[in-house]
Amino acid sequence: MASRAASAHPNKKYAIGLARAFGGAIIFGLPNLMTMEMWFLGFYLDRTRLVLFLLVNFAILVGLSRFSGFEETASVKEDLLDALAAYGVGVIASAATLAVFGILLPGMSLGEIVGKIAVQSVPASFGAIIARRQMGDKTDGEKDEEHDVAERRGAYGWQLFLMVAGALFLAFNLAPTEEMILIGFKMSPWHGIVLVLLSVLILHAFVYGVGFVGQEQPPEGSGFWRLLISYTIAGYGIALLVSLYVLWTFGRLDGADLTQIASITGVLAFPSAVGAAIARLVV
C-alpha cells in the first residue's frame, strides 16, 4: 500500500503540473488565438521558415525546462521530455480553442489547419512551460529546487538565454502586425535614435533599477559600466537580432531596403527589449 501511494504521488503531481500548463497555455496564447492576423499566418507563412521557427522555439523550451518545467529535471533527456510535453499542451490547447472559435473548419485543407495550429502553439507552449513557476504553490522540496534554479540563473550565459526567450516571445506577438511597418514608416531618424535610447533605458531599469519582485541583484563587484555593457547593451543586441530573425520568419522584410529593415527592426526591438527584461523577472 505504501509503495502504491508513493508511486501515485509523482503521477498526481505531474497531472497537476499538466493542468497548470494548460492554464498557462490559454493565458499566454489567448491574445494570439483571438487575433485575425495570426489566423492568416498559418495559411500563407513559408513552410520552411515556419518549421525552422518551431525548431528554434523547441530549443528555447528545452532551456526553459531547467528553470520552470512540469517537474524538477536533472538531465538533457528530462528537459527534452518536458519540452515535448509543453509543446503537446500548446498544440492541444491551440487546436481546441481555434475549433471552438470556428477558425478550424472541416472544409479546410490539412496544410492550413496544421499551419494555424503550429503558429498558435508557439506562445501557448511558452505559457505551458513556465506555468508551474507562475501559478503553482511551492512545497519545501520545490523551495529547495528554487535555490538550485537561482544558482543556475546566476550564470552569465543563462541570463543571456533568458533574454533571448523573453525577446522571442514578445517579438512573435507583434511582428506579424501591420503596425510595425506603419510605425517604422512614420518615424524620422531622430525618432529612431530616441527609441533606441529608450529601449536601453527601460531594459536596464526593469532588470536592476526599479525594485520589481524577482528583480536581479547585480553581481558582486559590478560597476555601472560593466552592467551596462555586459547585460544591458548585450540584452539590447539580443533584442535586435531576435527582432530581425522574427521579422524575416514572417516575411516582413521581403523586398525592403536596408533603411526600411533598420527602421522596422528598431521598432520591434523596443518590445523585444522589454520582453528580454521581463523574462529574467518572471521565469
Task: State the pLDDT at residue 263.
Answer: 93
The half-sphere exposure of 196 on its side-chain side, counting CA atoms within 13 A, is 14
Closest listed residue to residue 30, CA positions, set 153, 154, 128:
128
User: CB–CB of 50/67 below 8 Å?
Assistant: no
Cα–Cα distances in angstroms (integers) from residue 188 to residues 47, 130, 212, in the given order? 35, 38, 33
Average pLDDT over residues 197-219: 68
Higher pLDDT, 265 or 10: 265
Using a 10 angstrom Cβ sphere, with 0-12 exposed, 13-18 middle and 19 or more buried, the burial of residue 54 is: middle
Rounded Cα distance, 93 and 100, in Å: 11
C-alpha angle with apex 223: 217 to 229, nearest 5 degrees? 90
The rounded mean pLDDT for the chain is 82
Task: State the pLDDT at residue 40.
Answer: 85
User: CB–CB of 273/235 below 8 Å?
Assistant: yes
Closest listed residue to residue 126, CA positions, set 248, 34, 21, 271:
21
Rounded Cα distance, 130 and 16, in Å: 14
**Which H or E element spans position 193?**
helix 189-204
Per-residue pLDDT reduced to its tens digit, 84-138: 999 999 999 999 999 999 999 888 889 889 999 999 999 999 999 887 665 555 5
Rounded Cα distance, 252 and 244, in Å: 9
Per-residue pLDDT reduced to its tens digit, 42-95: 888 899 999 999 999 999 999 888 776 555 666 788 888 889 999 999 999 999
The amino acid at 231 = Y
Task: State the pLDDT at residue 239.
Answer: 95
Closest listed residue to residue 118, CA positions, set 156, 92, 79:
92
Task: State the pLDDT at residue 156.
Answer: 78
* C-alpha radius of gyration, the chain, whole number: 20
User: Sign of the CA dihedral 111, 272, 52, 46?
Assistant: positive
Q: Name the band, by pLDDT with cuts 50, 70 and 90, for residue 14.
A: confident
Rounded Cα distance, 153 and 56, in Å: 21
Output DSSP code: residue 219.
P
Average pLDDT over residues 10-24: 80
Q: Check whether 153 has a pLDDT greater than 90.
A: no
Average pLDDT over residues 139-149: 50
* Sequence-ordered list of residues with C-beta below 8 angstroms from that of 161, at least 6 positions apart, any chain: 63
Task: State the pLDDT at residue 2.
Answer: 46
Task: State the pLDDT at residue 76.
Answer: 80
Closest listed residue to residue 250, CA positions, set 91, 37, 60, 103:
37
Average pLDDT over residues 185-192: 90
